[in-house]
Amino acid sequence: MRDIIDILVVAYLIYIVLAWIKDTRTWALFKGVMIVLVVASVAYLFQLHTLWWVVSNAITVGTFAILVVFQPELRRALEQIGRGKLFESLINTSDQAEDGLTDEAIEAIAKASLHMSKYKTGALIVLEQETRLGDVERTGIRIDGLISSQLLINIFEKNTPLHDGAVIIKNNRVSAATCFLPLSDSMEISKDLGTRHRAAIGISEGTDALVIVVSEENGIISCVRNGKIKRGLDAELIKKILLSTRKKKRSERKKVIWKGKSKNE
């Protein structure tokens, strides 16, 4: 009986850890760690001494590197445990991964982008894809509202409380506003681009998020994905890009924990 309780407790703790990291950028790191552990196991079983030496030393160094790089995430997790909010968030979390943006949402984002472009209202709209952006959402103010052009326009209206920072969109809802994004340190970014564009590139370098940017200086609409920026978008291009994310999600509807998804084919 004691062994059964022991196994159940350990299994539950593992579940908690997996459920938590799945909602942050740490999920990609976890998959990388698992690959390294598999390689280490193969090297040990087949007595591949050189490979084992390389991998074992990489694990030793990597452990300290992880503690340094992911210090904010680790600190946040400990704070949530101390406040008793980690278990609450796990209970209330429903992985509602949908097929992608609806036609209404695509139309609303395109309409809002064109309106803000016309009046040179700066905007930064981040669309979550497979990589969870829970840690980014927590830097802003929770909204959880249906996507509409008027809501987006009101959020980014100049001199309003929510106009600074980025808006996060997931599951066809405006999840959060005034979110802080990591700035890219790439030297290849044009000097003509400001902080808003550098932030868009920064979040797209570390995640698979799609970002729509409206310049406050000239009203140019840009799309950023995988660290690459495409400028001068019109309504049709915006809709085409947003529609491509929906098609991608529909083609990957498999329930595979390794991919961090939640729907069956």
pLDDT tens string, the chain, 265 residues long: the values are 788 888 888 888 777 777 766 656 666 777 788 888 898 899 888 888 898 899 888 888 888 887 776 666 666 566 556 645 555 555 554 444 456 789 999 999 999 999 999 999 999 999 998 888 888 999 999 999 999 999 999 999 998 989 899 999 999 999 999 999 989 888 888 888 889 999 999 999 888 899 999 999 999 999 999 889 999 999 999 999 999 887 544 444 444 444 444 444 3
State whether 49 and 115 are in the same domain: no
Is residue 264 included in any domain, yes or no? no
- Do 260 and 130 touch, CB atoms closer than 8 A? yes
We report the CATH number of the domain holding residue 145 as 3.40.1700.10
- What is the residue whose two structure tokens read 């799309």? 223
Phi and psi at residue 251, in whole multiples of 5°? -85, -5
CA angle 162, 168, 174 (to 5 degrees): 80
Neighbours of 64 (CB within 10 A): 9
State whether 134 and 212 are in the same domain: yes
Indicate the residue among 28, 63, 92 that finishes a domain: 92
Euclidean distance between CA atoms 146 and 169, whole angstroms? 10
State whether 68 and 168 are in the same domain: no
3-class DSSP state of 224: strand
Is residue 256 included in any domain, yes or no? no
First to last CA, the chain: 39
Q: Tally the domains of the chain.
A: 2
- Do 146 and 170 touch, CB atoms closer than 8 A? no
The domain containing residue 29 runs over which residues?
Answer: 2-92
pTM greater than 0.75 (yes/no): no
State whether 116 and 237 are in the same domain: yes
Is residue 98 included in any domain, yes or no? no
Is residue 11 included in any domain, yes or no? yes
State whether 145 and 239 are in the same domain: yes
**83, 98, 138, 169, 175 from 250: Cα distances, Å:** 38, 9, 28, 18, 21
Is residue 97 included in any domain, yes or no? no
Indicate the residue among 28, 57, 92 that finishes a domain: 92
Is residue 258 included in any domain, yes or no? no
Is residue 261 included in any domain, yes or no? no
- Do 177 and 201 touch, CB atoms closer than 8 A? no
